[in-house]
Amino acid sequence: MNFLSLHRKIERHSGLLIFGILVVSSIGGLVQVLPIVLDDSHSAPAAGLAVYSPLELEGRDIYIRESCSTCHTQQVRPLLAEVKRYGPYSRAGEFAYDRPFLWGSKRTGPDLARVGGNYSDAWHHVHLLDPRAVVPASIMPAYPWLAQRDADQGRTIAARMRTLRMLGHPYSDADIAAAPAALEGETELDAVTAYLQSLGRSMQGTPQP
């Protein structure tokens, strides 16, 4: 029995071909993905990592809605110049409550993993509504509608938090019950700003790298 004659069998039998492709194409995933997904150490939150508040969660979901991660990464690599530019490099434990992860794959704009606390809320407001008012060379889109829309227009914050709780995020009944009121009177602009200010929070004050 050699592989060539095995292949001759496979290519004469559609069931075998399907089976063969399935087996061979699964190997990589079985080695690389399965251990990562099933090993709990990769989902353990970092010390001091807080779950997103309702306003921050709303902001995060808007960040996803607008596909911000197309242009902004949230991942500081352990490279000297990158740590010098952005701050301490990213740790897996910082992302335990990130569903989905938003590391991105392209830096058209700067990395945001350490942006929390780096600017005042007022700056974020101006910048989101008109980026070129503060960064003249910016090519970021303006997001004027964020200021015009109330946060959680669909009144779904409680449903979203309950879903996340099923996935293991530590929201209490009281947290969920209080969430709609917490978003009362806030705009989407406030929500996105709150989310941005939360980025890198658990690593704040960590000396480099």
Partner 1 sequence: MNYEDRIVTAFTACSVFWAVLGMLAGVYVAAELVWPTIDFGLPGLSFGRLRTLHTTLVLFGFGVSGLVATGLYSVQRTSHVRLFAPGLAWFVLYAWQLTIVLGGASILAGWNAGKEYAELEWPFDLAIAVAWVSFGVVFFGTIARRKMEAIYISNWFYGALIIVVAMLHIVNSLALPATFGKSYSLFAGAQDAVVQWWYGHNAVGFLLTGGFLGMLYYFLPKQAEQPIWSYRLSIVAFWAFVYTYIWAGPHHLHYHSIPEWVQSLGMAMSLILLAPSWATMVNGIMTVSAAAKKLRSDPALKFIVLSLAFYGLATFEGPMLAIKSVNVFSHFTEWTIGHVHSGALGWNALITFGTFYFLVPRLAGAPLYSARLANIHFWLALAGVMLYVLSMWGAGVSQGVLWLSLDKLGEVRFSFNDVMAAMKPYYLLRFIGGLLFLAGAVLMAVNLARTFSGRRTVVVAPPPAHAAKGLT
Partner 2 sequence: MADMPSEFWAGWIVVITVTSFIALIWFVRDLYRAGDQDTGREDEVWDETLREGARPAPVWWFWFILALMTVSVVYVILYPGLGSYQGVLRWSQGGRIAERFVDYDAQFGAERRRLQALPLAQLEGDSDAMQSAWRVFNNNCTSCHGRDAAGQARLFPDLTDDSWQWGRDETQILETIRSGRQAAMPAWEPVIGAQGVEQVADYVLGLSAGDSGSPANAEGSALFLQFCSACHGPKGSGQPLLGAPALDDEAWLYGGDRAQVIRSISQGRNGVMPAFGSRLDDAQIRLLTAWLSAGARIPDER
Residue 64 to residue 50: CA distance in whole angstroms: 20
Q: How far apart are CA 177 and CA 182, in angstroms?
A: 10
The listed partner (partner 2, partner 1, none) that binds 139, CB under 5 to 8 Å by sort, is partner 1
Give the nearer residue to partner 2 in terms of CB position, either 114 or 169: 114
Q: How far is the CB of 104 from partner 1 (least distance, A)?
A: 8
Phi, psi torsion values for 90, nearest 5 degrees: -75, 145
Q: What is the per-residue binding string for partner 1 in 175-204, x denoting contact by CB under 8 A?
A: ------------------------------
**Separation of alpha carbons 110 and 133, rounded Å:** 17
Note whether 117 and 204 are within 8 A (CB).
yes
Stretch that binds partner 2, among 48-56, 73-81, 96-104, 157-165 (CB under 8 A): 73-81
Pick the stretch among 120-128, 133-141, 190-198, 200-208 that binds partner 1 (CB under 8 A): 133-141
Whether cis (ω within 30° of 0) applies to the bond prior to 209 is yes
User: Backbone dihedral region of 140: left (phi > 0), alpha (psi from -120 to 50 degrees) or beta?
Assistant: beta
- Nearest to partner 2 of 42, 65 (CB atom): 42
Q: How far apart (Å, rounded) are the C-alpha atoms in residues 166 and 62?
A: 21
Return the residues of window 8-37 that contact partner 2 according to CB under 8 A. Answer: 8, 27, 30-31, 34-35
Binding mask 141-180 for partner 1 (x = CB under 8 A): xxxxx--------x-x--xx-xxx-xxx------------
Amino acid at 28: G
Minimum distance between the CB of residue 27 and partner 2, rounded to whole angstroms?
5
DSSP class of residue 149?
A: S
Binds partner 2 by CB under 8 A, chosen from 67, 120, 153, 172: 120
